[in-house]
Amino acid sequence: MTSSQALTLSASGLTRKYGNNIAAKNVSIDLYKGQIVGLLGPNGAGKSTTMKMITGNLAPSEGGVQICGIDLIEKPLDAKAKIGYLPEIPPVYKELRVDEYLTLAARLHRVASKKVSEAVNKAEERVGVTHMRRRLIGSLSKGYQQRVGIAQAIIHEPEVIILDEPTVGLDPNQILEIRDLIRQLGNEHSVILSTHILQEVEAICDRVQILHHGSVVFNDAISGLRQFRAGKTIQAGFRTPPDLVELQTALPDTVCSIVRNGVFRIQASSSEDPTSTIVRKSVECSWNLYELSGAQASVEEVFAELTKQSS
Amino acid sequence: MIFTIAHKELKSMFSSPLAWVVLAFVQGVIAYVFIGSLNGFLIAQAQLARTPNAAGLTEIAIVPMFGVGQMLLLMSIPLLTMRLISEEKRNQTMAFLISAPISMTQIIVGKFLAMATFLFLILLLIACMALSVTAGGTIDSGLLIANLIGLFLLGISFAAIGIYISCLTTHPVVAAILSLAVFLGLWIINLASSNPESWLNVVSLLKRFEGFMNGFVGIADVAYFLVITCFFLVLSIRRLDSERLRA
């Protein structure tokens, strides 16, 4: 992730308005070769809108996009040749066979005609649909259609791969496989993926941008996100638990809630670490503390925290 | 790229039963008309031989095929063009085409080319039928060619209008009904006026096509069909482009 590596995508100040409704506001993304950036956000945060603008499916109201130094608005065809895009719904033709569809994708993406079948084979192998190659896409399950969608996005070995919620609709095993695949792709190409699953971002991305109501509210390396999540919330279990009001008055700088019987979630509202206070109070009031773990903030808490900051 | 799109479109067309049904239907109806008029010619043959300047085999047996052919195109082209764009939008496959390094012009022209190829196929079948009478007689090839050109031009104008209407909606059936309504309107618009000099006659497809059926290929008529075709193709391209801006 050093700056010496090539900048493959640079989007600056992307804004998109639908009438008075602003779907994306001043979103900027820089992507370097070999990097995976995650766009994280709740539904309707503007992830898909941003991706549509980057891929030329939607014209931005303001701002510009450059793919490997080529301006998307001035030279759309040359810029698009360097992008592979998987939209939210896999853009497959149900009446075509997997082979036929990927051949079409390869041709449309300027793969030299001699190399088309080689590229199709390679892409099928990478996403694991080789044994389904003669099947009609319409007869495949959602998971396989999703894989075919990913295959069409990587068939021409693009510099930038843009995946909109690539693991939606897959079963847990397939999710792990696809995550592995994305990590591999991230070594040679650069990838942007969107998701609303925090764990997914932590599992595969190098950097994360969190969108909320169309604006970027967090933009940092993945270690920054971990730091942000850790140390804020503590889970504590007591053998002879106090009631919630008692605990709350004992720990004035925190927000307490019950997880299950005897187990509490304690969120620090100041920067001070409440751990030692909890231990001391437990001994003083003989609550019999038996469990104390630094729970990581959930995705909702992160969103809540970030949006509190931004507003 | 244009040919890649056209190829894909033809493949999709023929992988659904619709294209085959349309081909069979058109061929069946035209064959029925052809046999009927050929039979009429055979019965009246002796009488015609005695009449000077009488209508020949081509006028009596072949031209009626094109009279019916124009109505068949009017009915079947909306069924073929309806899904060309609207279904791409409906199934979200438009993003597949737009994010590929091809222009809107290439997408539209590719799809139009697929339709033109399909029309060519229909005309080829009609021409084969017409040529089958050469086994036992001679035909006026000039008249046949004029009719073929006329029907082809009519067909591509319909196709271009149909593609444009398909751009306007995400429901293929709405596109089909709207196209049919527009074609019928253009077809019978001249009936609204009894004055032969009226502008309604100028835009009427029926009037334009009559010339071709009589073996007359007029520059104005050819130009009219080509202008309609180009106009609606350009409109389609503009429409798709504007959707990216407006969405």
Q: pLDDT tens for residues A70-99?
A: 998 888 899 999 999 999 899 999 999 999
CA distance B37 to B12: 36
Between residues A213 and B32, the one the model is more confident about: B32
Strand ranges in B72-210 using DSSP code E only, listed in sequence order: none
Phi–psi pair at A65, nearest 5 degrees: -130, 135
ipTM: 0.85
Of A81, A89, A96, the CB nearest to B101: A81
CA B227 centroid distance within chain: 15
Closest CA to A119 of A90, A149, A144, A99: A99
Residue A299's pLDDT band (cuts 50, 70, 90): low
Between residues A102 and A282, the one the model is more confident about: A102
CB atoms within 10 A of CB A265: 18
Instruction: Specify the CATH superfamily of domain A7-228.
Output: P-loop containing nucleotide triphosphate hydrolases (3.40.50.300)
pLDDT at residue number A270: 66
pLDDT at residue number A307: 67
CA distance B103 to B100: 8
Residue B139's pLDDT band (cuts 50, 70, 90): confident
| Residue matched to tokens 């990587």 | A154
CA distance B237 to B104: 6
Q: Is B94 on the interface with A (CB under 8 A)?
A: yes
**pLDDT over 80 (residue B247):** no
**pLDDT over 90 (residue A286):** no
Q: In sequence order, what are the residues at sequence separation of 6 or more whose Cβ sits closer than 8 angstroms to the Cβ of residue B111? A: B5, B6, B9, B84, B85, B163
pLDDT, chain B, mean = 89
pLDDT tens, residue by residue, A223-252: 777 777 765 677 888 888 888 888 888 887
Residue A2's pLDDT band (cuts 50, 70, 90): very low
| Residue matched to tokens 């970027």 | A216
Asked if A109 and B101 come within 8 Å (Cβ–Cβ), the reply is yes
Indicate the angle between helix axes B141-168 and B63-90, nearest 10 degrees: 20
pLDDT at residue number B202: 77
Q: Is A7 on the interface with B (CB under 8 A)?
A: no
A143-147, A263-267, B46-50, B229-233: range with highest mean pLDDT? B229-233
pLDDT at residue number B181: 94
Please say whether the structural domain A231-295 has been given the CATH code 3.40.390.
no
pLDDT tens, residue by residue, B51-88: 777 777 788 888 888 989 999 999 999 999 999 999 99
CA distance A77 to B104: 11
Alpha helices in B189-218, H assignment, sequence order:
199-203, 205-213
Q: Of B2, B92, B96, B244, which to mutate for an interface test with A (greatest number of A Cβ within 10 Å)?
A: B96
Return the half-sphere exposure (C-beta side, CA atoms, 13 A cut-off) of residue B162. 29
Amino acid of residue A78: D
pLDDT at residue number A231: 59
d(CA B245, nearest CA chain A) in Å: 5
pLDDT at residue number A3: 47
pLDDT at residue number A1: 44
Between residues B23 and A188, the one the model is more confident about: B23
The whole-number average pLDDT for the span A127-138 is 91
Token pair for A72: 């998307």
Domain boundaries, chain A: 7-228, 231-295
Token pair for A208: 């994360």
List, in sequence order, every residue forming a beta bridge with A209; answer none if it has no partner: A39, A219
pLDDT tens, residue by residue, A139-160: 998 888 999 999 999 999 999 9
Which of A15-29, A187-201, B38-52 is predicted least confidently?
B38-52
Amino acid of residue A275: T
Q: What is the 3-state secondary structure (H, E, C) of chain A?
A: CCCCCCEEEEEEEEEEEECCEEEEEEEEEEEECCCEEEEECCCCCCHHHHHHHHCCCCCCCEEEEEECCEECCCCHHHHHCCEEEECCCCCCCCCCEHHHHHHHHHHHCCCCHHHHHHHHHHHHHHHCCHHHCCCEHHHCCHHHHHHHHHHHHHCCCCCEEEEECCCCCCCHHHHHHHHHHHHHHHHHCEEEEEECCHHHHHHHCCEEEEEECCEEEEEEEHHHHHHHHCCCEEEEEECCCCCHHHHHHHCCCEEEEEEECCEEEEEECCCCCCHHHHHHHHHHCCCCEEEEECCCCCHHHHHHHHHHHHC
Identify the three-state secondary structure at position A64: strand
Residue B151's pLDDT band (cuts 50, 70, 90): very high
Long-range pairs, B136-141, Cβ under 8 A, ≥24: B137/B57, B138/B57, B139/B56, B139/B57, B139/B58, B139/B62, B140/B56, B140/B57, B140/B58, B140/B59, B140/B215
Q: Judge whether A249 and A60 are in contact, CB under 8 Å.
A: no
> In chain A, what residues touch B100 (CB-CB under 8 Å)?
80, 105, 108-109
**pLDDT over 60 (residue A255):** yes
Residue A114's pLDDT band (cuts 50, 70, 90): very high
Phi–psi pair at A74, nearest 5 degrees: -75, -45
Which of A115-129, A251-265, B21-35, B177-191 is predicted least confidently?
A251-265
Asked if B94 and A52 come within 8 Å (Cβ–Cβ), the reply is no
Evaluated on CA atoms A132, A137, A142, A144, the torsion sign reads positive
Q: Of A17, A48, A93, which to mutate for an interface test with B (greatest number of B Cβ within 10 Å)?
A: A93
pLDDT tens, residue by residue, B173-189: 999 999 999 999 888 88
Amino acid of residue B247: A
Q: Residues for chain A: how many in total?
A: 311
The whole-number average pLDDT for the span A103-123 is 93
Of A85, A88, A91, the CB nearest to B93: A91
> In chain B, what residues touch A80 (CB-CB under 8 Å)?
99-101
CA A277 centroid distance within chain: 36
H-helix or E-strand spanning residue B34: helix B17-50
CB atoms within 10 A of CB A309: 9
The whole-number average pLDDT for the span B121-130 is 91
CA distance A97 to A104: 11
- pLDDT over 90, % of chain A: 30
Token pair for B209: 């096509």
pLDDT at residue number A296: 64
* Overall domain count for chain B: 1
The whole-number average pLDDT for the span A130-142 is 92
CA B44 centroid distance within chain: 32
Asked if A93 and B101 come within 8 Å (Cβ–Cβ), the reply is no
- DSSP per residue, B131-151: HGGGGTS---HHHHHHHHHHH
| Residue matched to tokens 């493949």 | B11
**Structural domain for B86, as ranges:** 2-246
Q: Tell me how far CA of residue A187 lies from CA of A179, B209, B218, in angstroms.
A: 13, 63, 64
CA distance B1 to B3: 5
